[in-house]
Amino acid sequence: MGEDSRPLLGVPKIHKVLRKLRHKHHCAYKASTLKKCVVFVILLSIILIIIYSQYIGHSPSYLTGLIQRSNRPEPNIRCGTMNGGPRIPQNHDHKTEARLRSYPKVLVFVETIYSKLGRDIAELLVHTRIKYKVEVAGKSLPVLTNLDKGRYGVIVFENFNKYLQMDKWNRELLDKYCREYYVGMIGFITPEEETFVGSQLKGFPLFIHTNLKLKDAALNAASQILRLTRAGETAWGELPCNDWTVFQANHSTYEPLEWAHRSDDYQPTESNVRTPLPTVIQDHGLFDNIQRVIFGSGLKFWLHRLLFLDSLSYLSHGQLSLSLDRRLLVDIDDIFVGEVGTRLRPEDVKALIATQTRIQTMIPGFKFNLGFSGKYIYHGNSEEDKGDDLILENVDKFMWFSHMWNHQQPHLYDNLTVLMEDMMLNKNFAKEKGIPVDSGYSVAPHHSGVYPVHELLYTAWKKVWNIRVTSTEEYPHLRPARLRRGFIHRNIMVLPRQTCGLFTHTMLIEKYPGGREKLDESIQGGELFQTIVYNPINIFMTHMSNYGNDRLGLYTFESVIKFIQCWTNIKLSSAPPLQLAESYFKLYPGESDPVWGNPCDDLRHQKIWSKNKSCDSLPKFLVIGPQKTGTTALYTFLSLHPAIASNLPSPDTFEEIQFFNAHNYLRGLDWYMNFFPVDSNSSHYYFEKSATYFDGELVPKRVHALLPHAKLVTILISPAKRAYSWYQHTKAHGDIIANNYSFHQVITASDTAPKPLRDLRNRCLNPGKYAQHLERWLTFFPPQSLHIIDGEELKSNPVEVMNEMQKFLKITPFFNYTEHLRFDPKKGFYCQVVSGDHTKCLGRSKGRQYPPMEEKSLKLLQRYYLSHNTALVKLMKRIGLRNIPNWLKEDLSDSPA
């Protein structure tokens, strides 16, 4: 009976039952079949369990667990801090003056561009938004300095042996760089088939033992590296992989950062003490004046990801430190929406409030954020309807946000009035039930309409709810989660939304993919834990069904918050969505402008795209410029082709939309697609021409995001001639600067000249740096998607140029331009044939004759463009273009030495 000495109630009754059972048992032995005996034993067990659970006041937990109607998981995170133990003081500030010697960027040396650990390192840096450059080890070193500063604050070797085995010249050069610019190094000992015991690392008083199986990792609380990571706990259990390396040193420069123990049959010492083995070691630089951190295993062990981030912070002297502040918001979608049997009952609502109260002791101000569709309240059984009532009785305990009244997908509405009426129903419901309506936050059901953007949704949100912030996990792509970002559209801030591994159907721990072990793995150092560590602002999407049944939502968040407190120095806080959004875009102002992706390339995006949109209303190729090279003539020739169609004209910019490089981009995808109306009776090959795209810094990235498979057409002429033509063009259009300064004065203007003069100088000179701009395009597009036209040949032999163009575009049917283009001697160029012998030429502004360029200006420009033209020849050869234009050969041959 243990400590309980109370007499058992009903003991005679128990004995009476047992006598009868023994009699039946005796009879069973006389029976001829074993089956009856087995059935009897089962019945006996059930009866005993029922009797003992009824009469024994302190029944064991495993016994009562068997007879519970459900077996809900309870948070089981325990650590010294959670039990009131003292926190070990740690240095959280790595900043020193040495950080001013280099830029906050990481140089990562990988074995190959495909190596697993190298990809893991890069992905971790992307997730935490740390700038980096990847180089394949073994090649020549990249440029390490920029004037008097180092280009990189930390050097990382995916395989530390690649550093040890570098040729003498490069090794000395790299070491010299690290010493002069106070740059630290991180290395990983990668697994090898051969096992080393007491093997010395080349040139260092450090020895390794490889291919070990380890368990029970702990941290050195005295280490100055620890900042994000908190020491004082032990990660109990087997460590991932069986190929760990441990270290042994005989120099004071080395200090262990992490220890673990052997998990095989290794015998302890005579004193029966198991010696911890260093698995991550810090080199203080006392041996060769270079500080390092060396890992005995990769990043599969979750703790190493934290230590890697702390090592970057320490070795960069605080330049690459992540903030310790994290903000957390948990949305519970569809609080009144769900099938009977999945909804919240009163005891679930009480558990929700109780858990929220416990979380508030760890996260000040924390409240669950409930999303509602009023139409579906009281759609459960009697108990579930009582749950709805209890939620409404506790309205003030939560934050609230609006869905649609009928939980309909907004992108299915193509009428603004109807959409607004639906929203008004939900708003009126909220006012009737006392639900706050001023949060400024809303989420569309099924992720619909936020991204890809449905313009009517944004308009209705503004008008009905005055929405200022929303969230989505769709932008720019659902997967991988590390690439989710925010953007602002029509003054509505869109925050990246995360998942916690729980979805609408995730209601029972036994049904969770991979079971409880998989969920706990995500919580205890895995994906969910890392999501909070890597993102300073986290909005998690969960559903009402996650909070009934097994209450997995409560288990998940209480557990991960406790685990974060045990293992990190992160300071968790919460705030309403509007404050989170303002903080987010203060942290990442560069994300304000969106990058529109192509919904046609993502099945999930297509499903939540407005039904009146079509993938056919996007151009197949772009004429990207540059200006004054013949783009208008090419546009005209292309428009003659019966299978090719251009965009509708713009009232502001005529035949050019100028979407990707101007403020028009922020008008959104709908605005752009309206220039390409879909005709069900045609199969047009759409294109657009905007000559300003060529040298736009953001244009290639934007074009690739929306039109990743587009073909690109550019026309090149002598850059000196192009610069002079642009000057004359602006002069003819009455530009004040062009009419008050000579061409030579414009191209020689200094950086102290008035801004309008500098602007004209730049528009004359910068587009002619052809190789520089083409390299930017080739960063996003493969060479085979780029078609370069010789502008002089387009002028002298357009038929041949257009024939080559058709082959490049693979357009059918083949169009015979010979019958449609004819040279006009008055104009001096080819024009469209109309009405038999007549021709229709471009306007008077085209083909205008200018006075010849001054010799001194020509010579100056030939010198100016010499390096750019040389780079262009190299680029053309690299991408497989054999025919170098004559103008390029002449410019290079005439260039002064």
| Catalytic entry in 628, 689, 721, 769 | 628
Residue 78, C-beta contacts closer than 8 angstroms, at least 6 positions apart: none
SS percent in the chain: helix, strand, coil, step 5: 40, 20, 40
Rounded distance between C-alpha atoms, residue 196 and residue 211, angstroms: 8
Q: Which two tokens stand for residue 881?
A: 């273009």
Rounded distance between C-alpha atoms, residue 573 and residue 323, angstroms: 13
Residues in the chain: 897
Q: In the Cβ-directed half-sphere of 809, how many Cα atoms lie within 13 Å?
A: 26
Beta-bridge partners for 246: 209
3-state secondary structure string across 260-308 = EEECCCCCCCCCCCCCCEEEEEEECCCCCCCCEEEECCCCCCHHHHHHH
- Residue pair 153/102 in contact (Cβ under 8 Å)? The answer is yes
Q: In the Cβ-directed half-sphere of 819, how many Cα atoms lie within 13 Å?
A: 6
Rounded distance between C-alpha atoms, residue 862 and residue 868, angstroms: 10
Q: Which own/partner pairs from 113-118 qualify as long-range (CB within 8 Å, at least 24 positions apart)?
A: 115/158, 116/298, 117/158, 117/159, 117/188, 117/190, 117/298, 117/299, 118/158
Rounded distance between C-alpha atoms, residue 84 and residue 569, angstroms: 16
- Residue pair 705/780 in contact (Cβ under 8 Å)? The answer is no
Asked whether the bond before 719 is cis by omega within 30 degrees of 0, the reply is no
157: three-class secondary structure by DSSP: strand
628 carries an active-site annotation: yes
Q: In the Cβ-directed half-sphere of 75, how many Cα atoms lie within 13 Å?
A: 20
3-state secondary structure string across 721-786 = HHHHHHHHHHHHCCCHHHHHCCHHHHHCCCCCCCHHHHHHHHHHHHHHCHHHHHHHHHHHCCHHHE
The CA radius of gyration of the chain, in Å to the nearest whole number, is 35
Q: Which two tokens stand for residue 868?
A: 């750019």
Beta-bridge partners for 108: 134, 156
Rounded distance between C-alpha atoms, residue 322 and residue 473, angstroms: 23
Active site residues: 628
